[in-house]
Amino acid sequence: MAQLEEVTIDQYKHLVSERALTGETMLLNMGPQHPSTHGVLRLLLELDGEVVVNCVPDIGFLHTGVEKNMEAKTYQKAEVMTDRLDYMNTMGNNLAYVMAVEKLVDLDVPPRAQALRVILVELQRIASHLVWLGTSGLDLAAMSMFLFCFREREQILDIFELVSGQRMMTTYIRPGGVWRDVPVEFETAVRDFIKIFPKRIDEYEKLLTKNPLFVDRMVDIGYLSKETALSYGVTGPTLRASGVNWDLRKARPYCGYEQYDFEVPVLHEGDTYARYLVRIEELRQSLRIVEQALNKLPMGPVRSDNRKFVPPPRSEIGVSMEALIHHFKLWTEGFQAPKASIYSAIESPRGELGVLLEGDGGPKPMRVHMRTPSFDNLAVLPEIVKGTLVADLVAILASIDIVLGDIDR
């Protein structure tokens, strides 16, 4: 199996208990190729029978050097790297980065673009939660769940493809707005989705929420207390299932989230079942936001007309020399950002997705740090899996919804 080399205990001496050194407990290498590690996570487990005594995550198997690579690109071109970080939340990554750039260079965004961003990011949140629901169903061997969830996800991806031409790596949200206005079919496509999706959520719930086997696998498993969660920097639905009402969309509204009426589901149990319920409820709330935003969707431009930072529309390039120059300058040289540092964060489906952007006065960022939520959410794993069974470990890992691209960057 996927054991690269015999685990040398010496290396992990300070991380496992003494019993492992005497051979009383078993060291099991789970991953990097394992069906339920959601990619290439390696967990070194110390097992007593099937009870997890210690769990040492080993990450970095997907380390891509995104931050380094972004430093070598202009602000605009660096955006394509963000898509590929948390590949379940591409729109959200774009938004987080773009908001940081806009904050750094002080760029305004027209309201239509803001509303479109909200719609797309919320759809992305639904898509991300659907993948989570499907794969965590799969991890508990409820395999049909996976296919049902992907059916709806396809619909969302179709909408993305409609607006951006790409299913996943859209790079649709750009500094100063969005890439271009949405096509006319967009509204009907979203409305269709809004119409059928509530029924689908009920279907999922019918299949899982009250299913005794499912409840048995989820309830009172992997308890994460409020204090532990905060100390480990856990954010997002995982934190909210532990009883902390912290959602950046409510606490620090961006993109006009304050206009929309939605609730932040908070549960106090802190177990996997609570995390499941919170995410299911978030599906419904996100759908509410999408519906409101679509109803309120204002007309107008979708890009800022600040030509220093935003390329002119294609139609202008043919007729205006100035537009051509701007276009050329922007795509060859990029724009200059001040020598300063900012931190801006959005609520991604997994938690606080922050971007620390430091400019050096030139067209390329001095430092881009993506504060990715999965990284901290995974760090808490060893704390909450101690004393559970291997099967529970799988359920817990699924419930904190990690994306390895998000962790390893």
Distance from C-alpha of 354 to C-alpha of 96, rounded to nearest angstrom: 7
Quick one: 112 or 286, whose CB is closer to other proteins?
A: 286
Residue of 153, 249, 307, 326 interacting with other proteins (CB under 8 A) = 153
Residue of 9, 21, 67, 329 interacting with other proteins (CB under 8 A) = 67
- Asked whether the beta carbons of 26 and 46 are under 8 A apart, the reply is yes
Show the tokens assigned to 256.
């006009």
Strands 341-348 and 51-58: unpaired
Distance from C-alpha of 165 to C-alpha of 142, rounded to nearest angstrom: 33
The residue assigned the tokens 């339920």 is: 36
If one asks whether residue 223 binds other proteins (CB under 8 A), the answer comes out as no
For other proteins, which stretch binds (CB under 8 A), given 112-120, 135-143, 294-302, 308-316?
A: 135-143
Residue length of the chain = 409
State the number of binding residues for other proteins (CB under 8 A).
Answer: 121
What kind and span of H or E run contains 365?
Answer: strand 365-371
- Is the CA virtual torsion 390, 392, 398, 401 positive or negative? negative
The residue assigned the tokens 């409510």 is: 250
If one asks whether residue 213 binds other proteins (CB under 8 A), the answer comes out as yes
Smallest distance, other proteins to C-beta of residue 278, A: 9
If one asks whether residue 207 binds other proteins (CB under 8 A), the answer comes out as yes
Quick one: 132 or 312, whose CB is closer to other proteins?
A: 132
Residue of 196, 231, 298, 308 interacting with other proteins (CB under 8 A) = 231
Write out the binding residues for other proteins, residues 233-262 only, by CB under 8 A: 233, 235, 244, 246, 251-252
For other proteins, which stretch binds (CB under 8 A), given 182-190, 297-305, 323-331, 375-383?
A: 375-383
Smallest distance, other proteins to C-beta of residue 10, A: 12
Distance from C-alpha of 273 to C-alpha of 214, rounded to nearest angstrom: 9
Smallest distance, other proteins to C-beta of residue 137, A: 7
Residue of 46, 122, 139, 401 interacting with other proteins (CB under 8 A) = 139
If one asks whether residue 273 binds other proteins (CB under 8 A), the answer comes out as yes
Strands 351-359 and 365-371: antiparallel
Write out the binding residues for other proteins, residues 88-107 only, by CB under 8 A: 88, 103-104, 106
Distance from C-alpha of 217 to C-alpha of 59, rounded to nearest angstrom: 26
For the chain, the straight-line distance linking the first and the last C-alpha, in angstroms and rounded, comes to: 26
Quick one: 207 or 324, whose CB is closer to other proteins?
A: 207
Residue of 195, 268, 296, 314 interacting with other proteins (CB under 8 A) = 268
Q: Residue 295 contacts by C-beta under 8 Å, 6 or more apart in sequence?
A: none
If one asks whether residue 232 binds other proteins (CB under 8 A), the answer comes out as yes
Residue of 52, 113, 224, 394 interacting with other proteins (CB under 8 A) = 394
Write out the binding residues for other proteins, residues 291-320 only, by CB under 8 A: none
Distance from C-alpha of 409 to C-alpha of 401, rounded to nearest angstrom: 16
Write out the binding residues for other proteins, residues 159-188 only, by CB under 8 A: 167-169
Write out the binding residues for other proteins, residues 332-351 only, by CB under 8 A: 340-343, 345
Write out the binding residues for other proteins, residues 8-47 only, by CB under 8 A: 11, 14-15, 22-24, 26, 28-29, 32-36, 39-40
Residues 352, 358, 360, CA angle at the centre, nearest 5°? 170
Strand partners of residue 356: 343, 369
Smallest distance, other proteins to C-beta of residue 125, A: 15
- Is the CA virtual torsion 52, 58, 61, 64 positive or negative? positive
Q: Each residue of 292-304: b (16+ CB within 10 Å) or e?
A: bbbeebeeeebbb
If one asks whether residue 148 binds other proteins (CB under 8 A), the answer comes out as yes
For other proteins, which stretch binds (CB under 8 A), given 269-277, 286-294, 301-309, 311-319?
A: 269-277
For other proteins, which stretch binds (CB under 8 A), given 144-152, 175-183, 295-303, 313-321?
A: 144-152
Residue of 65, 183, 298, 361 interacting with other proteins (CB under 8 A) = 65
Strand partners of residue 348: 351
Show the tokens assigned to 21.
């050194």
Quick one: 228 or 336, whose CB is closer to other proteins?
A: 228
Burial class (CB in 10 A: 0-12, 13-18, 19+), 317: middle
